[in-house]
Amino acid sequence: YMNSDGSMRSNEWRLDDTGKIRYLCSWGGAYKNRSAKINGRSYTFDGNANVTNMQWIVMDGQWKLAKDGKIATGWQTWDNNRYYLNADGTMKANESFTDGGKTYFFCSWGGAYKNCWQTWNGKKYYLHDNGAAYQNEWLK
């Protein structure tokens, strides 16, 4: 992987032509058949340089979730928190989102608020343990 000026790319996450995640090491190659600690997080790579464990990465300045060697999308659960990852893998944060007729609210670090009251645009909502806002339901 090269930069437009011909210099070698290094110390960064990149997607290859098939959509697989690669970490470009300081020497320009990729880790294979080993574990490595990158920016304080542990990753495991198979013989094809695929990330085999589910782990957060920073790619192009955005947090994304590596899962099965690719960038995860849609609803994901990590450390007992629910996240919604857009088609490009970026997470929803500081915003509301409606999916399947249910409304969810996301905090600054990307997790969906749950089991709590939230005020959004001047309206109060109570959120289920899955993060969906109660709608036309009684709270118990």
pLDDT of residue 107: 94
Domain boundary among 21, 36, 59: 59
CA distance 71 to 65: 6
Q: Match 């320009």 to its residue by tokens.
A: 28
> What's this model's pTM, rounded to 2 decimal places?
0.77
Residue 44 domain boundaries: 12-59
Q: What is the pLDDT of residues 51-109, one digit of tens each?
A: 888 889 888 888 899 998 889 999 999 999 999 999 999 999 999 999 999 999 999 99
Kindly state the tokens that stand for 30: 């990729």
What's the mean pLDDT in 41-45? 88
pLDDT of residue 81: 94
Mean pLDDT of the chain: 89
Residue 92 resides in a domain: yes
Do 48 and 78 have their domain in common?
no
Residue 135 resides in a domain: no
Q: How many domains does the chain have?
A: 2
Residue 137 resides in a domain: no
Residue 131 pLDDT > 90: no
Q: Are 15 and 49 in contact (CB under 8 A)?
A: no
CATH number at residue 99: 2.10.270.10
Residue 104 resides in a domain: yes
pLDDT of residue 94: 94
Residue 132 resides in a domain: no
Q: In whole angstroms, what separates CA 124 from the centre of its chain?
A: 28
